[in-house]
Structure 1
Amino acid sequence: MSENRAIAWFTDNPVAANLMMLIFVLGGLISLASMHKEEFPTIDPGVIRVQVPYLGAAPEEVEQGVCIRIEEAIEGVDGMDRFFSISNEGMCTVMIEVLQNVDVTRVLNDVKGQVDAISTFPAETEKPVVSAILFRGQTISFALYGKTDETTLKIIAEEMRDEISALPGISQVSVNYVRPWEISIEVSEQILRQYNLTMSQVADAIRRSSLDLPGGSIKTQGGEILLRSKGQAYSGREFENIVIVTQRDGTNVTLGDIASVRDGFQEGFLKAKFDGEPAVSVSIYRIGKEDTLTSAATVKEYLARKQPSLPQGVKTAIWIDESVPLSRRIDRLTMNAYAGLVLVLVILALFLRFKVALWVAAGIPIAILGAIWVFPAAGLNISSLSILSFILVLGIVVDDAIVVGERIYSHESIEPTRREAAIAGTSEVIVPVVFGVLTTIAAFLPILLLDGRMGSFFSIIGWVVLVCLIFSIIECMFILPAHLSHRKTENYFLHQAPVVTKWVAFQSIFSNALEHFANHRYRPFLEKTLEWRWVTWAVATFILVASVALIISGRVVFQFFPAVEGDRIYVTLTMPEGINVEYTEAAARRIALAGYETIREVEEAVGTPDGDTILKHVLESIGVDAARGSGPSFKTAGGSHLAEVVMDLEPYEKRPDWNTNKIADLWREKVGSVTDAVQLEFTTSLFNAGEALGLKLKGRDIEQLKSAAAAIRQEFALYPGVIDLNDSFRAGKQEIKLDILPEAKPLGLTLNDLARQVRQAFYGEEAQRIQRGTDDVRVMVRYPEEERRSLGDLENMRIRTNDNIEVPFSTVARVTYGTGYSSINREEQQRIIDVRGDVNRAVVTPEEVMAAVERAICTAGTSFNDPNNRCYNPDFPGVTVMLSGEQEERARSLSSMVNTVPLALLIIFALLAIPLKSYLQPLVIMSVIPFGAVGAIVGHFIMGWDLIFFSLLGIIALSGVVVNASLVLVDYINRQRRQGVDIFEAVANAGVVRFRPIILTSVTTFVGLIPLMTDTDPETFMFIPMAISLAFGVLFATAITLFLVPSLYLMLEDWLQFWSRDTGNSLTPSSAVKPVNPAASTPTETAT
């Protein structure tokens, strides 16, 4: 056999091999020390947001005046995937999803240009803000609380925000549960009439007197002197001194004389309680390369220093600390990785010489550290997903080293020197090994090319595996042969030591037993299966069908994404819009008290010692939306109708038998129904891909949309286990719509005059906007609060004509009462209503419910997910029903995978055809790929786990392993045939020769994943199904490779002989089966 020059060069130059190894190891360690650590990888959402404030406007006005005009302007911008908008009270928000692999900055500039060109926005709108949404990973959040007032908490919190922002490694800090500053100038109708003033005149007087204006400069002989007019007011007291009007007698009337100037907060209701005391929270976010662990530690040190200087009674408490689960998850996964590595080494040492096993196992850390070395260049970081990828790749990486090491080990018994053995053994298998690695990389192609947000998330696994495999092949080609050829077998440290002698004898027992089993047990059975190859194939097919039946029958359930519970329970309450805040507060307090009662019952059941508790903290908030979701989403505007109660629990270990879901169920039971509640939702999921149940209804007729949404909600409610049903359609506040009466026209009044004066009185006119420190403070002129509380105040209002004549409001205006919308959602220029819900996954899966609802709602031939045949129901024509939430992400990801699998299979076929020099033999190898999924399905059944999307990723990885092992086997068969060995004997010989490496690769992969599969920490539950797929799949793949692949190889020859009887070159069915003496036919290179 001709030796490979590169392999021979490195074998003869161990210094070069060692230097390469040191570069990988040291480079990896240096990168590891400098890389930041994060819970999950930073993903660019690829979303652009356009926001246009239209303060005081109702959602319909926002839709018509702003959102629709933006939608029309941006339609056709190149690079957009889709766009959707929400019209809330006072705000239009348009979200634009950019196509993958498209420059977000270019699309951002195009959108900004189109929006800036709109000249038809209402005059009261503010300047549009167009920005790309950046990923912000929350690092830590703390509550600032105590029995003090809102102003004190806000001032201290903003001071702490500024101080924390100046700390190293921290750039994004926000203060939550605080209202913005506002100076409210309140002038009564009586005062306006007394001084013959209007709101506009008061606002104009403020603008004229409160300003700083540069006046140029005077250039004198002594130099240049700047001129400035300095009169800007910054506080309520300064505004009170502004002169509004000068009377005939020369008396100045100041703002303080005619108005109540209140320097405080914006109107509205927003407050929070932390452990029952008034609170605000400060959140620190990680962006770019900032490190979660370092940032959290820095903030904790700051809080320890700051606490003594805080006013008496004001305290701080860590509320969210992502560094804790990050450290716990990384430590847990790292421990699993180390345990798996030790188990791999033990298995190798039992069947290979210890030094051979040691260098083979060393290929794992060398490959992983080499991969970490290039992480910064590849844009990868240390996260839970990257460590999971390392665990996943443990067995795959060692496969190549086992194949090469085992062949070198075998050749040492027949080659004159270890150098020749290393070169010959490596050269023999290097081609199938390299192409096997390439086929494994190709098998991960569907993961790398996944679409959607989930695709960006999961593709990290594919990239980490790809880089590890590249360094693995480098290590086993150049570094491993050098180490094995130059290892000492005599006169080394402890050479004759009793422990070493006993270990060698002990290892020889296992090694010889495996060889004996391969020759005297496996080979006779293999020959029987070859003789009955068609029966072998039929049995394997039956097992495949039976495993699929496990899924069809529901014994193994598939759900796209699991509900991984955390240590917090979120209860969100939505009351009717416009409701008195006292009702919302009372309902939230009742929910909190039920939560405390729940905790007491759980502690009694658990047997918590006196003075100890499983409840860490409780946060209650009123007036702010707490929508929890993944990725860019819309959040409804805040208001007095919104509330949230959050319980932070101790880890699961302190409350055995009471997981978070069980506690939430008990809490839900104690709360019961809440009077007038529009929505009451309990959430415990640590991770989610959106709502478990989600349908999007799109159309132009809002009444049809409402009817369809009601019908679909009723259908969902029929299925046991469906909870928290709701939809995005909400009745808004009661509205009074104004119109001008004919009697107003002779007075010169228009609808614009009427609307403007009503807005000034009840919403207010913005006289100025000033910068006070880091805060943007609005100065508003309006009626006093007591004159804006009833319909009578509107009726008693005076409207002023252009001639300054006062007329009663009721004589010039017509009033119509009605109810508006809470918000208006649109997508692709049509209105939409989302129907959402969750499921108790112990009762039913989202997939089961969605399939049943689709059958009930959609007419035959239509589907929620088929873009060419969208779900249609004659009961609500004009309404299109499609997936949303988790279901939409599921459909997008699975569709993307289905679309890329054929490409991956084509590449795998090409990579197999090249080394095998055949078009048909690759089909033999690829035909066993479906059989690899059998072990994965059975493994989930045995372990009691549902199949999830992570399971599919494990099956994809498994297909690469199956193909890799089968390729080396078929390559050896072809080598034997080229040497003139009879085909049947060649197949049998190949099975025996490949028996040890196949068994070792399978067992090492399985045991390497045992620590993760048996982990009981909820932090790792999401990742366990992937490990189950690969571990159990590899075990079943062993039988596939050792029995089914040889049988398929002979079956192919049967077919070739059947189609070309006259050639005489193919194997006949009768001549194929020739019993062979194992001792006489076993290849000599397997002797050890």
Structure 2
Amino acid sequence: MNKIISFLVRYPIWPTVLLFSIMIFGLIAFGQIRYSFFPEIKPDTISVQVIYPGASPDEVAEGVVLKIEEQLDGLDGVERVTSVSKENFGSVTVEIKYGADIDKVTNDVKNAIDAISSFPIGAEKPLIFAQKFRSRSLSVVLSGDTDLYNLKYIAEEFRDNLLESPEITQVSISGLPDLEFSIEVSETDMRRYQLTFDEISAAVNNANINISGGKFDTDNEEILIRTWGREYHAGQLQDIVVRGNPDGTVVRLRDVAKVSEKWEDIPDKTYFNNRTALVLNIDQTEQEDILGIADVARAEVDNFNATHGNVKAEVLDDRTIPLRQRIELLVKNGIFGLILVMIALGIFLNLRMSFWVAVSIPFSFAGMFIIATAMGITINVISLFGMIIVVGILVDDGIVVGENIYVHYEKGKNALRAAIDGTLEMTTPVITSVMTTIVVFAAFFFIQGIMGKFMWQMALVVIASLLVSLFEAFFILPSHLAHSKALNRGQKVSGVRAKIEKGIDYLTNKIYAPTLRTALQYKWITVVLPVAMVMLTIGLLGGRFIGTTFFPYVDSDTIPINVTLVAGRQEADTDSLLARIERVCWQVNEEMKSERPDGQDVILGIKREIGANDFGETGSHTGNLTCQLLDGEVRNTESYVIANRIREAVGRVPEAEEITFGDRGRFGKAVSISLLGNDHEQLLKARDLLKAELQNFSSLKDITDTDEEGRREVNITLKPRAFALGLDLGDIVGQVRQGFFGKEIQRIQRGRDEIRVWVRYRPEDRSSLSNLDNMRIRTPNGAEYPFSELAEYTIARGVTSISHLDRKREIRVEANQTNVNEDLPPILAEINEDVLPRIMGLVDGVRASFEGQSREEGKMQKSMMIAFPTALLIMLIMVILVFRSLAQALMIFSLIPIGILGAIWGHGIHGFQVNILSAIGMIALSGIIVNDSIVFVDQINRKLREGSKVVDAVYQAGLARLRPILLTTLTTAFGLAPLILETSRQAQFLIPMAVSVAYGLIFGTFILLVILPASFLIFNSIRMKFKALITGRIASPEEVEPAIKEIEFLKNKELLVEKT
């Protein structure tokens, strides 16, 4: 290190070339970096999906899902397995353990499922895949006064235009059912012609084909034999011959059936502002830039609207709007903070020195961009915040090194010697202090849960910037100071600079010096007071005077409204209810519009979807509305307030089984409780009790559960006569299924559409129970019997879905907060400590677990309880090794809780809840406090080695460190001040983290300048007493200090060497 620093100081061309090289390559790297809303996260779940047409949830669970769960039980690398069985579909989600190789686990899951040989015949092959990163960029809704066929082709053309751009690869269309050919026969015609479904199916299959018949060779060429019998339009199938009669007549398909092309018979309709609509959802993948995607999509929307009259394209839920706002906000605040940092440097240092110290900021960012690009980091709200946090910290080591070089220069050394000696003297404390900060940020790499996946990018940004800054402080800054006019002994101080120096002298000698003397004189009182404040702060947190929550509320520009009717209700019923709520939404908009000074609409558009909702439920009895709101920066009303007004205006909705107004939250609903057990009746009892208890909480709303009662089911059993005729249950139910559900005959690829060909009864022949009673069952010998003679049935309600968690039946009960800014922990504590124990005492074989936000918080806390104590231990070991003293290391670390005190009080001052982002800021703060303390204690030790008494050494070190400590504090606080004072809604969820660092550091300055010196003397007194107890004599304050003891040890060692 000595030779490298000496070489670079003497030959300034090398540091200059390094400086400009890294700056240039950094700019190139910055141009290559991509943008995303949040950090791109690696997948940790594997999805298994199985389609089982016509199957009930019970059939899907028994025939598919339970077999998959059995195979996956105990599989290496699997954290837990959840599943949902619905009509026609089963889904199993495999969560992998932290650190497991997802590719290996995915392969193991595939092998395990491939070993299952007993899936039902009607079930399709399982689709198994690791869920990849995909983030919604924006949606485009196409709506107009046209039919769905025309809208389909317009939407597909729009999608093709989007996909022609290299920026976009993922576009899906929602609200569009699949096309199918429906061959609908009547029971009367089948009996007249003595036909069966199997005969009709075989006739279509054998006629509607393209097939090769081989080839033959002539003398001149090879000729293929083939037929082109495949028809691609429903009407062309009508001439297919179903049966040829001995008299030469034929029965064609049109004689016994109506053949039509139609939309699949499932509820999947979308409207926008009450007009037929389709929605194109545009997603971002790992290698794509969300801003580029949005720019292309908006340009296509503008072009479309300029060329189409009856159909309009509009952008919905554009995620880049808040991202651009946040980027603009953070960049603006970052630049403003940088200016304040420069001003602070100019106040405490001369202008030339402050310039060269400030060069560290762009240089460090340039180096960081090189590393970030190589690591695949994107520019997002989290990584940007890391840059803002580190702006003020970057100059800390430069300040310490530059100030020490100036001290050596003032001692009479020439510029080169001062630069070399001043840099080398600070090598150990500065490297140690920076490395302790790096260690604490490195702990973020080991946090589990969603927040851990987000925060590692912030940590990497900070660590990379600090490492590059450290490089600049030792290898570039000394050379520039030595060869510039920053060191100028003959320069006269006048004007503003003279007044600044006079002010600093006054602060040092007239304010700080007497304060420090008093603190040293009354050292015990000085230390006890902040400890008492720590206890008071703990009481304020416990008494909820300063609120706490897991994750701060982030406002949205959309309001989802989800409804579920009684299973079995028709699509028209759902549409009618949604349309009624939509009208109420517009009424609320008019009311709020009249209350606004600018008279703007707060609701810009409403999308209505039938057939699905955000609960994960599907069917004609489900649906949702999405209200697109005015931009939040203009709206000035939080979305949950508007949602609550809509709820109040809608009032009670008796026909709805479940209805919710507002967002679920980024980590799920505020309250999410899983009830697990094997006895479904006991689970239902626990569910009802829990929902009744939650209704008593005025702070909760939208209480729902996942065990919704299903549609009415006809359960068939055979009569004795059926067995006598050689029929079994499979024969009869199979024929019933052919008539009422239908039989898929073929799949025809027509262009981009895969069209299924179905044969079934006409709608009028499958509309009532009397149709079932009168349908004819065919025996193997061709005889026909009414269904009612061979079978009977009962009617009961089933379930819409069956959920499992780790092979236990699960019912999940969830609720949202009425006021999202209210403290959540007290609510969860009451449920956990009072409500759940009472309920569990009333049911058998049921246990409860918290999911959603609570589970994420638990995962974070569990990993943080390992990662951060480990980081603190590593930091402690580093400090012990540097000072070669356990006592001094413990003294430094004892100051961390007092620093956190300032962070918590900062939240109280600004009215913020302490949340997980606040805690992350406090963790970062602990590294900064240790950083500054190391340099301070090193200064005290140096004074002791120079021969000062303990009290004098502490006093002189305090005066010497006042300027750099104030400067490092101000640069960090000023860097964050614009963000803390920001009123924009986009800044609100980031401000608590900034408050933690800034206020903690401001309070930490008081700790360093006053409490640390007093603590040093207290630890010195304790060591003296221990020395007296061990040796029986009273030692002087100096001889018990590690720095003096080390000198004495080295002297004795040298004497011993001389004697030998």
1:869-880 residue pairs with structure 2 within 5 A? 873-880=840-847
- Counterpart-to-counterpart distance in 2, 1:800 and 1:904: 76
How far apart, in 1, do the equivalents of 2:221 and 2:428 lie?
A: 84
Partner of 2:143: 145
Q: What is the match of residue 262 of structure 1? A: 260
Give the Cα separation in 2 of the matches to 1:197 and 1:1014: 80
Query: Which segment drifts farther, 952-961 or 976-985?
Result: 976-985
Partner AA of 1:344 in structure 2: V
Q: CA deviation at 1:874?
A: 2.3
Aligned-residue offset at 1:1070: 12
Q: Using the alignment, how far apart are the partners of 1:653 and 1:49 within structure 2? A: 38
**CA distance in structure 1 between the partners assigned to 2:1038 and 2:210 by the alignment:** 105
1:552 to 542, 549, 558: 542
Deviation at 1:800, TM superposition (A): 0.9
Q: Tell me what 2:602 maps to.
A: 614
Structure 1 pair 901–924 and aligned structure 2 pair: CA distance change class (3 A) = same
Q: How does 1:46-57 map to 2 (within 5 A)?
A: 46-57=44-55
Map of 2:98 onto structure 1: 100
Q: Secondary structure at the match of 2:317?
A: strand
Aligned to 1:648: 628
How far has the Cα of 1:544 moved from its partner? 0.9
Name whichever of 590-599 and 323-332 sits farther off.
323-332
Say which SS state the counterpart of residue 980 (structure 1) adopts: coil
- CA, structure 1 residues 994+1070, in 2 after alignment: closer, same or farther (shift >3 Å)? closer
- For 1:713, the equivalent position in structure 2 comes to 691
The answer to whether the 8 A contact 2:716-2:794 is kept is yes
Q: For 2:396, what is the secondary structure of its paired residue?
A: helix
User: In structure 2, which of residues 325, 343, 348 is the aligned counterpart of residue 346 of structure 1?
Assistant: 343
Q: How does 1:817-896 map to 2 (within 5 A)?
A: 817-841=795-819, 844-859=822-837, 873-896=840-863
Instruction: Measure the CA separation in 2 of the matches of 1:52 and 1:167.
Output: 33
Is the counterpart of residue 667 in structure 1 residue 646 in structure 2?
Answer: yes
- Equivalence for 1:413: 410
Other structure's SS at 1:786 match: helix
Aligned 8 A contact 2:442 2:463 in 1? no
Q: What are the residue-to-residue correspondences of 1:858-1007 with 2, within 5 Å?
A: 858-859=836-837, 873-1007=840-974
8 Å contact kept, 1:621–1:644: yes
Match of 2:840, SS?
coil
Question: Structure 1 residues 415, 97: CA separation in 2 closer, same or farther (over 3 Å shift)?
Answer: farther
Matches of 1:404 and 1:1065 in 2, distance apart?
Answer: 42
Q: How far is the alpha carbon of 1:122 from its aligned partner?
A: 0.8
Question: What is residue 700 of structure 2 aligned with on the other side?
Answer: 722
Contact 2:353 / 2:486 at 8 angstroms: preserved in 1?
no
Is residue 451 of structure 2 the alignment partner of residue 454 of structure 1?
yes
Match of 1:271 among 248, 269, 272: 269
Write out aligned runs for 1:544-693 (5 A). 544-609=534-599, 612-627=600-615, 635-636=616-617, 638-656=618-636, 658-684=637-663, 688-693=666-671
- Counterpart for residue 630 of structure 1: none
Segments of 5+ residues of structure 1 without an aligned counterpart are 628-634, 860-870, 1074-1088
- Paired-residue identity, %: 35
Amino acid at match of 1:595: C
Q: Is the 8 A contact 1:614 1:654 kept in 2?
A: no
Aligned-pair CA distance for 1:993: 1.0
1:481 paired residue number: 478
CA separation of 1:25 and 1:221: change in aligned 2, threshold 3 A: farther
- Partners of 1:1071 and 1:439 lie apart in 2 by 29
After superposition, what is the alpha-carbon deviation per residue over 1:863-906, rounded to whole angstroms, capped at 9, x for unaligned?
A: xxxxxxxx982211211111101111111112211122221111
Query: CA distance change for structure 1 residues 174 and 877 in 2, over 3 Å: closer, same or farther?
Result: same
User: Residue type of the partner of 1:788?
Assistant: R
Shift of residue 844, structure 1, vs aligned partner: 3.5
Give the Cα separation in 1 of the matches to 2:371 and 2:686: 53
Relative distance call for 1:294 and 1:730 in structure 2 (3 A) is: same
2:820 and 2:142 map into 1 onto residues whose CA distance is 39
CA contact (8 A) 2:891 2:1015 kept: yes
Q: Residue 410 of structure 1: CA displacement?
A: 2.6
SS at match of 1:950: helix
Contact 2:676 2:810 in 1 (8 A): yes
Q: Does residue 381 of structure 2 align to residue 395 of structure 1? A: no
Paired AA for residue 647 in structure 2:
R
Find the aligned partners of 1:22 and 1:226 in 2 and give their Cα distance: 71
Change (3 A) 1:927 1:160: same
Whichever residue aligns with residue 625 of structure 2, its letter is: V
Deviation at 1:1065, TM superposition (A): 9.3
1:186–1:260 Cα contact (<8 Å) kept: yes
Structure 2 CA distance for partners of 1:1067 and 1:715, relative to 1, 3 Å? farther
Q: How far is the alpha carbon of 1:964 from its aligned partner?
A: 0.3
- C-alpha offsets along residues 460-519 of structure 1, whole Å, 9 cap, x if unaligned? 211211111111111111111122112135999xx99xxxx99x6312322332234223
Indicate the SS of the match to 2:886: coil
Rounded to whole Å, the distance in 1 between the matches of 2:898 and 2:486 is: 42
Per-residue deviation at 1:219?
4.5
| Match runs of 1:403-552 below 5 Å | 403-488=400-485, 505-552=495-542
Give SS of 1:920's match.
helix
Which residue of structure 1 aligns with residue 1055 of structure 2?
Answer: none
Q: Aligned in 2, Cα 1:227/1:481: closer, same or farther, shift over 3 Å?
A: farther
Cα 1:37–1:575 change in 2 (3 A) is same
| Structure 2 counterpart of 1:481, one-letter code | P
Question: Is the Cα–Cα contact under 8 Å of residues 872 and 879 in structure 1 kept in the other structure?
Answer: no
The TM-score, its normalising length taken from structure 2, stands at 0.95
1:1052 aligns with 2:1019: yes
> 1: CA distance between counterparts of 2:641 and 2:682?
39
Rounded to whole Å, the distance in 2 between the matches of 1:878 and 1:936 is 45
Q: Secondary structure at the match of 1:94?
A: strand
Q: Is the 8 A contact 1:872 1:880 kept in 2?
A: no
Cα distance between partner residues in 1 of 2:1022 and 2:219 = 108
Q: Is the 8 Å Cα contact of residues 720 and 843 (structure 1) preserved in structure 2?
A: no
Q: 1:1046 to 1:697 in 2, by over 3 A?
A: same
Q: In structure 2, what is the Cα distance between the partners aligned to 1:1067 and 1:322?
A: 68
Q: Is the 8 A contact 1:567 1:684 kept in 2?
A: no
How far did residue 951 of structure 1 move? 0.2
- Equivalence for 2:1058: none
Contact 1:727 1:836 in 2 (8 A): yes
Cα 1:135–1:199 change in 2 (3 A) is same
| C-alpha deviation, 1:1050, in angstroms | 2.0
| Equivalent in the alignment of 2:71 | 73
Q: Output the CA distance in 2 between the equivalents of 1:265 and 1:117.
A: 37
Which residue, out of 79, 85, 88, partners 2:86? 88
Secondary structure at the counterpart of residue 37 of structure 1: coil
How far, CA to CA, are the matches of 1:123 and 1:350 in structure 2? 81
Quote the Cα distance in structure 2 between the aligned partners of 1:653 and 1:93: 40
Shift of 1:228: 3.0
Name the counterpart of 1:739: 717
Q: Distance in 2 between matches of 1:68 and 1:1016?
A: 53
Does the residue aligned with 1:623 lie in a helix, a strand or coil? strand
Which letter maps to 2:335? Answer: Y
Alpha-carbon contact 2:48-2:128 (below 8 Å) kept:
yes
**One-letter code of the match for 1:1058?**
K
Alignment-derived partner of residue 381 in structure 1: 378
> What's the offset of the Cα at 1:140?
2.4
Q: Deviations over 1:512-537 (max 9, x none)?
A: 32234223432332232223222222
User: In the alignment, residue 799 of structure 1 is paired with which amino acid?
Assistant: I
Q: Aligned Cα RMSD in Å?
A: 2.2
Q: Distance in 1 between matches of 2:981 and 2:760?
A: 66
Residue 367 of structure 1 and its aligned partner are, at CA, apart by 0.9
Query: Quick one: structure 1 residues 851 and 171, their matched pair in 2 at CA, closer, same or farther if it must change by over 3 Å?
Result: same
Contact 1:351 1:507 in 2 (8 A): no
> Kindly tell me: are residues 1002 and 746 of structure 1, through their superposed partners in 2, closer, same or farther at Cα, counting changes over 3 Å?
same
2:748 aligned to 767, 770, 780, which one?
Answer: 770
Q: CA deviation at 1:1028?
A: 0.4
Aligned residues: 1040
Q: Judge conservation of contact 2:914–2:992 (CA < 8 Å) in 1.
A: yes
Q: 1:388: how far off? A: 0.8
Does residue 305 of structure 2 align to residue 327 of structure 1?
Answer: no
Do residues 317 (structure 1) and 314 (structure 2) align? yes
